[in-house]
Structure 1
Amino acid sequence: MEPPTAAEAEFVEEVAAFFEEEGMPLIAGRVIGRLLVCDPPEQTPAQLAEALAVSRSSISSAVRLLTPSGLVRRTRRPGRRDQYLSIPPDGWSRMLAARYAKTAAFRQVTERGLAALADAPPERRERLANVHRLYLFLEDELPALWRRWERRAEEEPAPGRADTGERA
């Protein structure tokens, strides 16, 4: 395995910084960044630790954080003890779908909060009411957005095409 290029290492750090601002541990962001650009796309924890110059225990902690959402996948190969880590083609979609599925649940939490504040002055209820309205909106709009994404994903060319992410 070749070490990451300077440009790859810079990208990995940029991804890590982005996710750190979102509240994720820096190492988890580095794992995401590395798995987005590494070759081969499946890496062992030891390979990730070497490429990122961190301990295997740090990789293990990050992977425990990243696998429940479906973003990072663990696989094993027959006859091998190592596990392999990767971001599956639908990993981002699965992660976002899991987040969107929680929209209705949190909207219900806000409803209970508003019920608890039923006799409170409107000024006191305002913050919670704003969150409630947002989650009502998201609950209504996200299904149609998700259907459009799924149609678009089905219509796009097969993976491997050169796509820099630029749009006209």
Structure 2
Amino acid sequence: MNLPEIEFVDRMGLIMERLGGTRTMGRLYAWLMVCDPPDQSLTELATELGVSKTAVSTVARQLELSGMAERVPSSTREHRYRVVAGGWAQIMRVQFAILKQSLDTLDFGLSILGDDRPGQRSRLEDTREFFAFILQDSDEMFERWKEYREKTS
């Protein structure tokens, strides 16, 4: 890795950490976006990132489960990984699905609160309304994203 790549990888590590992942996850994902060849073995990833092969293996599996990376066929027994196009969109779809489930839970919360608890009801209603607002355009947003990608690809 050259100095600009190291800086990019480290910055992405911090961003992923701020998004709730681990720094190693962000660093590994960043490296997979810029490395050549685009698929790397666990040993190569551990060497480039300066972390243990066990840590890389764990994070690579997490990225694979989230749809951001995939394991690719290899002529050796060693696992190789590469970035999956559309990984961030997949993450957002999962997050929106959780928000949809949250609406049911918030509705239940509202059903157990009587009108004699306006402060509590207000807090729940505010959260529910925000989630519902975010979700109302989510399907259209993904469709617009798909159309945008088709035009720019």
* TM superposition score normalised by structure 2: 0.91
- Residue among 71, 77, 96 paired with 1:100: 96
Stretches of 4+ moved more than 6 A in 1? none
In the alignment, the residues of structure 2 paired with residue 120 and residue 84 of structure 1 have an alpha-carbon distance, to the nearest angstrom, of 59
Matching of residue 82 in structure 1 with residue 100 in structure 2: no
| Counterpart residue type for residue 60 of structure 1 | S
Do the aligned partners of 1:16 and 1:28 also contact (CA within 8 Å) in 2? yes
The count of residues paired between Structure 1 and Structure 2 equals 153
1:23 deviation in Å?
2.2
In the alignment, the residues of structure 2 paired with residue 32 and residue 113 of structure 1 have an alpha-carbon distance, to the nearest angstrom, of 38
Q: Which moved more, 1:19-28 or 1:120-129?
A: 120-129
- As a proportion of its length, which structure holds more helix? 2
Matching of residue 58 in structure 1 with residue 45 in structure 2: no
Matching of residue 138 in structure 1 with residue 134 in structure 2: yes
User: Per-residue CA shift, 1:11-38, capped at 9, x if unaligned?
Assistant: 1110001111222121111111111111
1:120 deviation in Å?
5.0
- Residue among 121, 127, 141 paired with 2:123: 127
Structure 2 stretches lacking a partner, 5+ long: none
User: Which residue pairs with 2:4 in the alignment?
Assistant: 7
Q: Which moved more, 1:81-90 or 1:110-119?
A: 110-119
Structure 1 stretches lacking a partner, 5+ long: 158-168
* TM superposition score normalised by structure 1: 0.83
